[in-house]
């Protein structure tokens, strides 16, 4: 037995160990390069249903003892590296880096090559056995075992044991390995009819699962020699690892990258054909992540420019393919009467148009699952559910798609990213948000100023609960920090947010009640806060005191709000120099004396008191609603959104039914109670 040491560091060698799927493909490529006509992959299980051994066997030329010693002793070089090199049988070879064998360790910790080849005299056969272990990745044991030879056929049998957890998982999901083998060897299985690949007893047959195949010429800058084209195959498979194979003009694979092109719901592989790839030994990129060069950029290498041109053409082709499929599928659904948007109900606004266009992307991603059902009613229900979810709660759409369609997580994430980045989705989200807000303003105006509803509307149980979810009405900059809580809890949140001088961590027992001047416990209705950054962190808080619509704001209400201000700002626990407070009393109307307070000559209109630490305001609902309407008017007009009293009340009934008073007109003769 001869022990061969590879002249390379273990860190470098371990870097060649990739995924089990890549390792499997490398072993098949090695068989192809040795003129194998038949390659089989078999799996042997033990009594616990775990994998004991995986075997890749071929009937190729095999390797002699001398060949094994020479090739196993080096890495980064190979007899296949010279452009135009062919196998003994005249096949164009795939490998050239001399590192493919290390990928086998992604499948098993121990690998044995059992190879039979013809000797120098081309008559006698030799048996060579090479063994490697991942623990000693820079050593191989190679031995001539011709004396034990029992076969009269050449070939190599690679036995992988001590199966890795990753390989166990990969072989448990065999459909993904089948898809990888199908896409990787599609061109070769078509070009070389004498080459057969069997995986776990079933032949790999790309032709049976090809949905569409196109070859497109690439436009290259004048300084790039030769011609190039791209073959795009769309697969009728549940999931395909999208890859860009770099081939010579005959379709022989020289390298591979990730496709770097997104197309939700489309399972494709692309093959770029250009003779220059045979002459470029550089590794273009690490697995093809995010590669998007300009084909006209002369600072890139010729190979990189060709790849960039290929990706550009691939995006164009897939975009056109998707548009054709969308149009045909949607029209079929319309003809079947199951599409949730009716053909005769054309969109009236940009938001409606954008919604329909973006929904088509979602529906197409789920189309295969939808069409699996034979029931038109079930199809209509599925599409209707997708539509309602997409329009009302887009965030919950993706878990739903994953659960219902069984799309891989990578495809769901791809769809999510596309929808997040597209201006259509942003327009839809803005449209729904503005539409809901306009409806809310119409609805809140109706219940605040319509006689029957405003008599019934209570301060905290109803109005307060609604506004706790619509705090934007006081200004876009405000976010909810406290809601109908004792100031002790507000204080706790305040200190945790700002951090005391020593970053104090508080518990409920650490905080006493905050009392007003009359000794009662202070309970604000709504606390909103924002962080303002000047030269250093500065925080500004807003306290809103709400009153029921029928109540006219009076001097006592102003004093009550002022007591809130004193309770907070004079408490030693709020001794923060970078904090200021705004206290606002809100109602439908005011008494004459309060109105006079709102009109002081030395203060802005509505402000009734100002100190170094806080200011006190009294505002009427028409002023607040009018300000909110003004902020949204431009966007509302741009989106062509129309609302009215009925739409506004419908929105409130839908969103806040549990908080609203009975908005129906009272029966004739009924009296509206005052209290």
- CATH assignment of the domain containing 167: 3.30.565.10
Q: Alpha carbon 172 to chain centroid distance?
A: 25
Mean local confidence (pLDDT), 122-150: 91
| Distance (Å, whole) CA 203 – CA 201 | 7
> What confidence score (pLDDT) does residue 77 get?
66
**Average pLDDT of the chain to the nearest whole number:** 79
SS3 content of the chain, % helix, strand, coil (to 5): 45, 20, 35
Is there a single domain that holds both residue 490 and residue 549? yes
Q: What is the 3-state secondary structure (H, E, C) of 398-456?
A: HHHHHHHHCCCHHHHHHHHHHHHHCHHHHHHHHHHHHHHHHHHHHHHHHHHHCHHHHHH
Among 421, 439, 465, give the residue marking a domain's end. 421
391 inside domain: yes
Is there a single domain that holds both residue 485 and residue 602? yes
Which of 11-15, 215-219, 297-301 is least confident? 297-301
- DSSP annotation of 533 reads E
| Distance (Å, whole) CA 323 – CA 325 | 5
> What confidence score (pLDDT) does residue 508 get?
42
Q: Which of 263-277, 458-472, 639-653 has the highest mean pLDDT?
A: 263-277
Is there a single domain that holds both residue 219 and residue 131? no
329 inside domain: no
Q: Pick the residue with more confidence: 197 or 632?
A: 197
Is there a single domain that holds both residue 531 and residue 467? yes
Query: pLDDT digits over 642-673, tens only?
Result: 555 565 556 555 655 555 555 454 443 333 33
Q: Is-contact 472 466, C-beta < 8 A? A: no
Residue 282's pLDDT band (cuts 50, 70, 90): very low
Whether residue 35 has pLDDT greater than 70: yes
| Backbone angles phi and psi of 90, in degrees to 5 | 90, 10
Mean local confidence (pLDDT), 493-501: 44
Mean local confidence (pLDDT), 31-59: 95
Q: Pick the residue with more confidence: 253 or 467?
A: 253
Is there a single domain that holds both residue 485 and residue 627? yes
> What confidence score (pLDDT) does residue 200 get?
96
Residue 76's pLDDT band (cuts 50, 70, 90): low
378 inside domain: yes
Both structure tokens of 70:
């020479």
Nearest to residue 493, comparing CAs of 505, 509, 475?
A: 505
Q: Pick the residue with more confidence: 389 or 228?
A: 228
Both structure tokens of 622:
């028409």
668 inside domain: no
| Distance (Å, whole) CA 59 – CA 30 | 12
Number of alpha carbons in the 13 Å side-chain half-sphere of residue 155: 17
| Distance (Å, whole) CA 122 – CA 115 | 16
Q: Which residues pair with 128 in a beta bridge?
A: 115, 144
Whether residue 271 has pLDDT greater than 60: yes
Mean local confidence (pLDDT), 601-622: 92
Residue 216's pLDDT band (cuts 50, 70, 90): very high
| Distance (Å, whole) CA 471 – CA 624 | 11
Is there a single domain that holds both residue 616 and residue 515? yes
The DSSP-derived string for 103-165 is GGGGTEEEEEEEEEEE-TTSSSEEEEEEEEEGGGTTEEEEEE-GGG---SS-EEEEEEEEE-H
Nearest to residue 549, comparing CAs of 465, 493, 486, 621?
A: 621
Is there a single domain that holds both residue 157 and residue 22? yes
Mean local confidence (pLDDT), 139-168: 93
Counting every residue written for the chain, the total comes to: 675
Domain, as residue range, for 263: 206-318
Is there a single domain that holds both residue 252 and residue 382? no
Q: 631 Cβ partners below 8 Å, 6+ apart?
A: 476
Helix pair angle (350-365, 397-405), 10° resolution: 30
Count of domains for the chain: 4
Both structure tokens of 94:
């795939």
Whether residue 480 has pLDDT greater than 70: no
Element holding 621 (H helix, E strand): helix 621-639
Is there a single domain that holds both residue 525 and residue 647? yes
Mean local confidence (pLDDT), 149-172: 94
Mean local confidence (pLDDT), 461-479: 72
Query: pLDDT digits over 373-396, tens only?
Result: 778 888 888 888 788 777 766 666
> What confidence score (pLDDT) does residue 496 get?
47
Torsion of CA 67, 71, 77, 80, to 10 degrees: 40
Both structure tokens of 285:
């990129």
| Distance (Å, whole) CA 373 – CA 454 | 51
> What confidence score (pLDDT) does residue 415 get?
63
> What confidence score (pLDDT) does residue 651 get?
56
Is there a single domain that holds both residue 526 and residue 596? yes
440 inside domain: no
Is there a single domain that holds both residue 525 and residue 463? yes
> What confidence score (pLDDT) does residue 498 get?
39
433 inside domain: no
> Given the DSSP bridges, would you call strands 607-610 and 139-144 parallel, antiparallel or unpaired?
unpaired
Mean local confidence (pLDDT), 239-260: 88
Q: Is-contact 228 274, C-beta < 8 A? A: yes
Whether residue 504 has pLDDT greater than 60: no
Nearest to residue 617, comparing CAs of 646, 645, 642, 581?
A: 581
Query: pLDDT digits over 539-592, tens only?
Result: 777 788 888 777 899 998 898 888 878 877 877 766 677 778 888 898 889 999
The DSSP-derived string for 221-246 is -TTS-S--EEEEEEE-SS----EEEE
Burial of 132 (0-12, 13-18, 19+ CB in 10 A): buried
Among 120, 149, 172, give the residue marking a domain's end. 172
> What confidence score (pLDDT) does residue 206 get?
96
Q: Is-contact 499 518, C-beta < 8 A? A: no
| Distance (Å, whole) CA 440 – CA 432 | 12
Among 398, 421, 444, give the residue marking a domain's end. 421
Burial of 44 (0-12, 13-18, 19+ CB in 10 A): exposed
596 inside domain: yes
For residue 218, give Cα distances in angstroms to 110, 221, 229, 455, 585: 44, 10, 5, 73, 69
Nearest to residue 516, comparing CAs of 582, 571, 577?
A: 571
Q: Alpha carbon 286 to chain centroid distance?
A: 21
Mean local confidence (pLDDT), 193-221: 95
Query: pLDDT digits over 555-567, tens only?
Result: 988 988 888 788 7
Q: Is the pTM of this model over 0.75?
A: no
Q: Is-contact 606 618, C-beta < 8 A? A: yes
Mean local confidence (pLDDT), 45-62: 95
| Distance (Å, whole) CA 339 – CA 256 | 40
Q: Which long-range contacts (CB under 8 A, 24 or more apart) does 88-93 make?
A: 88/35, 88/61, 89/35, 89/61, 91/32, 91/33, 91/35, 91/192, 92/248, 92/250, 92/252, 93/33, 93/252
| Distance (Å, whole) CA 663 – CA 453 | 6
Is there a single domain that holds both residue 369 and residue 246? no
495 inside domain: yes
Q: What angle do CA 300, 303, 307 make, to 5 degrees?
A: 95
The backbone region for 217, taken as left when phi is positive above 0, alpha when psi lies in -120 to 50, beta otherwise, is beta
Q: What angle do CA 441, 445, 449 make, to 5 degrees?
A: 175
């Amino acid at each position: 037995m001869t022990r061969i040491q590879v002249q390379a560091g273990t860190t470098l060698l371990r870097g060649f160990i990739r995924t089990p799927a890549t390792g499997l493909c490398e072993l098949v490529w090695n068989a192809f390069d040795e003129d194998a006509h038949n390659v089989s992959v078999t799996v042997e299980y033990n009594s616990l249903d775990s994998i004991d051994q995986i075997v890749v066997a071929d009937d190729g030329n095999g390797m002699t003892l001398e060949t094994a010693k020479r090739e196993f002793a080096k890495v980064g070089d190979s007899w296949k590296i010279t452009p135009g090199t062919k196998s003994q049988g005249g096949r164009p070879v795939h490998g050239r880096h001399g590192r493919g064998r290390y990928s086998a360790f992604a499948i098993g910790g121990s690998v044995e090559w059992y190879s039979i080849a013809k000797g120098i005299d081309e008559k006698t056969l030799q048996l060579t056995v090479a063994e490697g272990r991942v623990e000693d990745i820079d050593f191989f044991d190679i031995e001539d075992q011709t004396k034990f030879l029992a076969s009269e056929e050449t070939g190599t049998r690679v036995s992988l044991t001590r199966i890795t957890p990753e390989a166990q998982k990969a072989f448990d999901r065999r459909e993904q390995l089948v898809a990888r083998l199908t896409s990787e060897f599609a061109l070769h299985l078509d070009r070389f009819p004498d080459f057969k690949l069997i995986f776990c007893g079933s032949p790999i047959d790309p032709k049976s699962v090809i949905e569409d195949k196109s070859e497109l010429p690439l436009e290259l800058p004048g300084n790039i020699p030769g011609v190039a084209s791209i073959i795009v195959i769309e697969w009728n498979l549940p999931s395909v690892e999208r890859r860009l194979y770099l081939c010579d003009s005959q379709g022989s694979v020289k390298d591979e990258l990730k496709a770097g092109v997104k197309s939700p719901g489309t399972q494709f592989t692309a093959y770029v054909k250009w003779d220059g790839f045979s002459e470029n030994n550089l590794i273009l990129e690490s697995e093809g992540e995010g590669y998007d060069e300009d084909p006209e950029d002369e600072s890139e290498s010729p190979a990189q420019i060709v790849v960039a041109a290929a990706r550009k053409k691939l995006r164009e082709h897939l975009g056109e393919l998707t548009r054709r499929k969308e149009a045909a599928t949607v029209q079929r659904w319309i003809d079947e009467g199951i599409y949730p948007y009716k053909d005769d109900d054309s969109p009236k606004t940009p938001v409606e148009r954008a919604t329909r266009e973006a929904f088509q992307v979602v529906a197409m991603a789920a189309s295969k699952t939808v069409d699996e059902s034979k029931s038109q009613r079930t199809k209509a229900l599925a599409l209707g559910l997708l539509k309602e979810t997409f329009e009302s709660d887009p965030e919950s759409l993706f878990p739903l798609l994953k659960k219902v369609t069984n799309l891989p997580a990578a495809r769901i994430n791809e769809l999510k990213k596309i929808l997040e980045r597209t201006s259509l989705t942003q327009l839809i989200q803005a449209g729904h948000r503005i539409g809901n807000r306009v409806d809310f303003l119409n609805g809140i105006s109706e219940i605040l100023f319509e006689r029957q509803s405003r008599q019934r509307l209570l301060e905290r149980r109803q109005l307060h609960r609604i506004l706790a979810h619509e705090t934007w009405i006081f200004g876009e900059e405000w976010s909810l920090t406290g809601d109908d809580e004792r100031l002790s809890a507000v204080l706790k949140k305040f200190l945790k947010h700002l951090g005391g001088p020593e970053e104090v961590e508080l518990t409920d027992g650490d905080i006493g009640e905050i009392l007003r001047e009359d000794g009662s416990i202070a309970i604000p209705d709504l606390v909103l806060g924002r962080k303002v950054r000047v030269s250093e962190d500065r925080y500004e808080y807003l306290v809103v005191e709400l009153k029921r619509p029928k109540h006219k704001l009076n001097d006592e209400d102003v004093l009550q709000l002022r007591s809130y201000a004193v309770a907070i700002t004079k408490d030693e626990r709020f001794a923060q120099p970078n904090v200021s407070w705004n206290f606002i009393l809100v109602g439908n109307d005011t008494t004459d004396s309060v109105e006079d307070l709102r009109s002081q000559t030395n203060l802005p209109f509505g402000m009734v008191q100002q100190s170094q630490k806080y200011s006190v305001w009294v505002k009427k609902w028409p002023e607040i609603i009018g300000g909110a309407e003004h902020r949204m008017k431009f966007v509302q007009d741009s989106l062509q959104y129309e609302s009215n009293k009925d739409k506004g009340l419908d929105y409130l009934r839908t969103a806040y039914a549990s908080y609203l008073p009975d908005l129906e007109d009272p029966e004739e003769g009924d009296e509206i109670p005052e209290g």
